[in-house]
Structures are given as structure tokens and as C-alpha cells.
Structure 1
Amino acid sequence: MGSLILSLLPLILGGTLVPAQIIINILLLQSPRQGLLKSAAYVCGMTLLRLLQGLFFLLVLGRSTADSAGKSGGKGPVVSTLLLVLGILLLITAYKKWLKEDDPDAPPPRWLTRIASLTPLKAFGIGFSIVLIGPKFWVFTLSALGTISEAKVGLQSSIVAFFLFILLTQTSVLLPLFIRIISPRRSQTMLQKFSTWLTRYDRVILIVVSFAFGVFFLYQGVSGLV
């Protein structure tokens, strides 16, 4: 199990370090009314979609991945292809973000100004949708599931590993939520400063993270296929 978690670690880190999902959660937490409930609903929406992705993979792709892994011994073609696609997507994201210079005097995006006014139900929908429509989220989860399937650790251990993947991948949204629960008053200032810093350096963070993980996953995918 330990070696399997280490194999999943790059995917966990890549899925965690997505500035947009963190900013949305912090803005929800800073809502004047029901901020905690909105954040919890948002996290639940993300979690539900990832669980459904796991069910989809188990029913549709699980057998083919296990069979291919058993024949080749190492990363099978399904996981290698997913990693290759993920690497390309991340490199494209880094390139597009690098080309587009941010205007420091520009107003914040319209969707950012509307986050605080969302209801808990809409926050749940945002959490569900951000994973549903994000291709990188799909490939991250499917690559993790493929890695778990190829490890052949048994059904029970595979389920535990997948739940750990979901939990650790959502650390960046769970941690601010826990901070708000533990210290409601002090957390407001902390979250405001972190949100300001994250918004200011969002472009740089996204470029560095996307490029670094893009190169890594591209290498993993190519080496697995050849």
C-alpha cells in the first residue's frame, strides 16, 4: 500500500495545486451568510463527482486496464496514454497562461464577484461542475484509478487507496474549511490574506505547476508506451 500511495503522489499533488478551486472555496468561506455551509457543499460536490468517476472507471475501463497491465507488467497502455494526455494538457495550459499577461489594473473576473452570493445548493453544483467539465480533473482521477488497478492490491485495498487519493487531492480545499471550523474569527484574516496572495500570483503558480507536472507526466506516458 505504501508504494502505491507513493506512485499516486504526483497525481495527488497535481490535482491539489489548482489555484482556481482553492480561490472559489476561500471566497465561499468568506461569504457573510452560511459561508461554512457553502464551502462544505462545494467540497461535497467535488467529492461526489470523483466517486462517480471511480464507479465509471470500475464499470467501463477497469477490466481492460487490469488485463493490459497483467500482460505487459508495468504501466499498461491505458494508464500510459492517460498520463501522456495529461502531460500534454498541462503543457498546453502552461503555454497559454505564459502567453497571456495579466493586467494588474483589470477588474476581477465576473464569476469571482458572484461567488459570495451563491446558495449552498449552487455551491454544491459549482463543486460538481468544476470537476465534471475540467478535462485535467478527469485524467488525474482516471490515471490514479488505472495506477491502483495495475497495482493489484485487492478490492478492499484498492477502495481504500482511491478514498485516500480523493481525500489527499482535496487537501487544499479541506484545510481552509477545517481552519474556519477550528478558529472562526482568526480564520477570516488568514483566509483573506491567502486569497489575495493566491489571486495575485495565480498566473505564476499555474505556469510553474503545469509545466513541471506536464513534463513529468509526458515522460511517464511516453516511457510507458515505448
Structure 2
Amino acid sequence: METVLISLLPYIIGSAIVPLQIIIGLLLLKSPNQGLFKAIAYVAGMTITRLLQGLIFGLVLSGSSALTEESSAKNSIISTLLLVLGILLLITAYKKWRREDDPDDSPPKVLTMIDSLTPLRAFGIGLGLPLIAAKLWVFTLSALATIAAAQLGQLSSTIVYLLFILLAESLLLIPILARILIPERSKYLLTELSAWLTKNSRPITIVVSLVFGLFFLHSGISGLVS
């Protein structure tokens, strides 16, 4: 199980550091009207979507692994997903560098209306974000394919996938915990962090997308060639 978790680290880090989802979470959390409940609802929505993705595609990938005896056939699924993910990330880096619109970015209107959102609508945004963001889709599918290829058994695979979800959402959960445990001191920190991320979202996205894009592209090509 430890080996599989290490293999999942690139997908965990990639899923966790997507600037858009963090910015939305922080803006919801520091909202003056039910901010904490909005942030919790937002993360709950993302969690439910990822659980459904795991249930549906985990069964599909596990079934394909059970029917396929050769390890090369199993690894080809992962390699193809890595190749697609690498290409998507490099396209994102290029679009951000050229200041073009990224289809995974939320419209500016959503960010400006966050204070007026209800917890229910924040929950809906959480449900929808992993479905409309192509990169989050491929991160999750790559993680599921890696878990399925390891053939850990149903219980162990479920535990590993739940850990993947927990760690992928860690940068959303930590500010929520800070708001609960140190409410007064966390307000200033969250405001500063939100402002910094909003200001530096473009360079962060370029660097992260370029580094991970090259890494996944190399891994995908190497896997398919071998």
C-alpha cells in the first residue's frame, strides 16, 4: 500500500495545488456571511463527486484489470492517461503564458459573486468543479488506474483512494481547520493568502503546469514505448 501511495504522489500534488480551487475555497471561507459553512459545503461537494468518480470508474478499471492478464495492457491505460495529462498541462502553461482563456478557469463573475452565494450553491460549485475541469478529471482517473493496476483488493484499494481524496483536498481542509481552531488569527492569514494567490495565480499556474506537464508527458511516452 505504501508503494502505491508513493506512486500517487504526483497526482495528489497536482490535484491539491490547482490555484483556482484554492482561491474559491479561501474566498468562500472569508465570506462575511456563513463563510465557514460555505467552505465546508464546497469541499463536501468536491468530495462527493470524487467518491462517485471512484465508484464508477474504479469498478470499470478494476474489471479491465481482472480481465487482462498481461501487465503491459494494464500499464498502457496509465501511460495513456499520463500522456493526455501532460499535454493538457502544457497547453495550460502555454495559454497562461499567452494570457489566453483556460477552459478550466472559472468565469470572473463566479469569483465576484462568492459573498452572495448560499452554502447550497457553494455545495453545487464543489460538485461541478471536478466535472468541468479536464485536468482534475485526468488526475483522478490516473490515480484510479494506478490503484487498479496495483490489485490491492477491494478494501485496500478503497482506503488508498480515500487517502488520495483527503490529501488532494488538504489545501482546502487546512484553512477550514485553521478557521475553526484559531478563528481570529486565521482571518488575517486567510485574507493575505487569498490576495496573494489571486495576484500570483498566473505565474503559479504556468510553473506548476510546465513542470508537471513535462513530467507526465515523459512518463506517459516512456510507459508507452516500454
Q: TM-score range by the shorter chain?
A: over 0.9
In structure 2, the residue matched to 1:215 is: 214
User: Which aligned pairs between 1:34-53 and structure 2 lie closer than 5 A?
Assistant: 34-53=34-53
In structure 2, the residue matched to 1:225 is: 224
In structure 2, the residue matched to 1:130 is: 129
Given the superposition, is the C-alpha separation of residues 66 and 14 from structure 1 closer, same or farther in structure 2, using an over 3 Å criterion? farther
Are residue 18 (structure 1) and residue 26 (structure 2) matched? no
Structure 1 position 58, deviation (Å): 2.5
In structure 2, the residue matched to 1:105 is: none
Distance 1:43 1:205 in 2: 22
Deviations 1:172-218 (A, max 9, x none): 11111111011111111000000111111100100000011111111
Structure 1 position 110, deviation (Å): 2.6
* Contact 2:80-2:220 within 8 A present in 1 as well: yes
In structure 1, the residue matched to 2:195 is: 196
Count of residue pairs brought into register by the alignment: 220
Q: Higher mean Cα deviation, 74-83 or 118-127?
A: 74-83
1:92 aligned partner, one-letter code: I
* Contact 2:58-2:148 within 8 A present in 1 as well: no
Given the superposition, is the C-alpha separation of residues 222 and 65 from structure 1 closer, same or farther in structure 2, using an over 3 Å criterion? farther
2:58 aligned partner, one-letter code: L
What TM-score, normalized to structure 1? 0.93
What TM-score, normalized to structure 2? 0.93
Structure 1 position 25, deviation (Å): 0.6
Q: Which runs of 5+ in 2 are unaligned?
A: 102-106
Structure 1 position 101, deviation (Å): 7.9
Distance 2:38 2:24 in 1: 11
In structure 2, the residue matched to 1:171 is: 170
Structure 1 position 147, deviation (Å): 0.3
In structure 1, the residue matched to 2:33 is: 33
In structure 1, the residue matched to 2:71 is: 72
Distance 1:168 1:66 in 2: 28
In structure 1, the residue matched to 2:180 is: 181
Structure 1 position 67, deviation (Å): 4.1
SS in 1 for 2:113: helix
* Contact 1:4-1:151 within 8 A present in 2 as well: yes
Are residue 148 (structure 1) and residue 147 (structure 2) matched? yes
2:29 aligned partner, one-letter code: L
Given the superposition, is the C-alpha separation of residues 207 and 66 from structure 1 closer, same or farther in structure 2, using an over 3 Å criterion? farther
* Contact 2:61-2:148 within 8 A present in 1 as well: no
Given the superposition, is the C-alpha separation of residues 77 and 66 from structure 1 closer, same or farther in structure 2, using an over 3 Å criterion? farther
Given the superposition, is the C-alpha separation of residues 161 and 202 from structure 1 closer, same or farther in structure 2, using an over 3 Å criterion? same
* Contact 2:179-2:187 within 8 A present in 1 as well: yes
CA RMSD of aligned residues (A): 1.7
Structure 1 position 74, deviation (Å): 8.6
Given the superposition, is the C-alpha separation of residues 208 and 159 from structure 1 closer, same or farther in structure 2, using an over 3 Å criterion? same
Structure 1 position 154, deviation (Å): 1.5
Structure 1 position 61, deviation (Å): 3.1
Structure 1 position 65, deviation (Å): 3.8
1:177 aligned partner, one-letter code: I
Q: Percent identity of the aligned residues? A: 58
Q: Which runs of 5+ in 1 are unaligned?
A: 103-107
Structure 1 position 66, deviation (Å): 4.6
Given the superposition, is the C-alpha separation of residues 205 and 165 from structure 1 closer, same or farther in structure 2, using an over 3 Å criterion? same
Structure 1 position 20, deviation (Å): 0.6
* Contact 1:65-1:79 within 8 A present in 2 as well: no
